[in-house]
């Protein structure tokens, strides 16, 4: 929603242009939409959570935002007149565990889009990789084999790989899957430093409770039968709104400053 304050900010030049805007976009395959229309804008430093159960359309929406799918209907625009640079952290590493790549070499993959397929790595590429590993607290992992790392360590290296590509929007697909609680907290806490540098963060997860404390804008998808809910977290993260969205009783509690989501048994 465009508020009067935002209009004034734009007129006065105080608001930085958004990176990407979706207008009445319907996503799907072969001309068939799997979600109802949605509007979404992502700007520098924003934190957006795309949440919903498995099979609800999260991945299809994600692929459309990344430019891998063309919208069935609606428009995607780039206010800065170019597509933003994306850094993508997959749910699972697709690197052959039998191939002896070090964490440094895996992180260097993030530079390939900048140096080209036949160009040799330069000094600044090496420095960028080292900086990315430092940024995620994994500097000491550089010489170690990727497949020998723990799940939490691998996840940090994959985030470093995405950072090495100098992204404007960092997308993490199910970032907490397979992580223990300390690793999960450490991974999500990293996002604050990225946002402070103006990098927008998009978290995709089926676990709303896992990402709720780390986002500002919430996108809730629940399949074609339900409208896509998009708005400030404070507006959507309530028992009443989530119960309406999912069409089942849901309770939201705040415990020690953290949001907890509970699915209640329907009344007999």
Per residue in 179-203, pLDDT (tens digit) is: 777 777 777 788 888 999 999 999 9
Closest CA to 89 of 218, 187, 214: 187
Q: Kindly state the greatest CA–CA separation across the chain.
A: 67
Per residue in 61-79, pLDDT (tens digit) is: 999 999 999 999 999 999 9
Q: How far from chain centre, in Å, is Cα 25?
A: 18
Domain 4-236 has CATH 3.90.400.10: no
Which structure tokens are listed for 125?
């590429």
Which structure tokens are listed for 161?
């790989």
Task: Break the chain into its structural domains and give their ranges.
Answer: 4-236
Answer whether 44's CB lies under 8 Å from 200's CB: yes
Per residue in 123-179, pLDDT (tens digit) is: 899 999 999 999 999 999 999 999 999 888 898 999 999 999 999 999 999 887 777
Q: Which residues are registered as beta bridge partners of 219?
A: 50, 230
């Amino acid at each position: 929603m465009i508020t009067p304050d935002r209009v004034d900010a734009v007129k006065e030049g105080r608001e930085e242009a958004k990176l990407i805007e979706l207008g009445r976009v319907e996503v799907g395959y072969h001309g068939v939409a799997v979600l109802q229309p949605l509007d979404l804008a992502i700007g520098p430093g924003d934190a957006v959570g795309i949440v919903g159960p498995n099979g609800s359309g999260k991945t299809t929406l994600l692929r459309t935002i990344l430019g891998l799918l063309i919208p069935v209907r609606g428009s995607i625009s780039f206010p800065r007149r170019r597509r933003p640079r994306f850094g993508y952290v997959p749910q699972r590493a697709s690197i052959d565990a039998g191939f002896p790549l070090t964490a440094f070499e895996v992180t260097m993959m993030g530079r390939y889009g900048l140096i080209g397929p036949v160009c040799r790595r330069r000094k600044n590429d090496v420095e960028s990789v080292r900086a990315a590993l430092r940024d995620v607290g994994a500097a000491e992992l550089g010489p170690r084999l990727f497949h020998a790392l723990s799940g939490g360590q691998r996840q940090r290296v994959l985030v470093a790989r995405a950072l090495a590509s100098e992204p404007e929007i960092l997308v993490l697909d199910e970032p907490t899957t397979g992580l223990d609680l300390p690793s999960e907290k450490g991974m999500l806490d990293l996002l604050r430093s990225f946002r402070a540098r103006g990098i927008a963060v998009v978290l995709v997860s089926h676990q709303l409770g896992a990402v709720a404390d780390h986002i500002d804008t919430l996108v809730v998808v629940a399949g074609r039968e339900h409208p896509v809910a998009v708005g400030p977290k404070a507006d959507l993260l309530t028992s009443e709104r989530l119960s309406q969205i999912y069409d089942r009783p849901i309770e939201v509690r705040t415990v020690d400053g953290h949001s907890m989501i509970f699915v209640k048994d329907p009344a007999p």
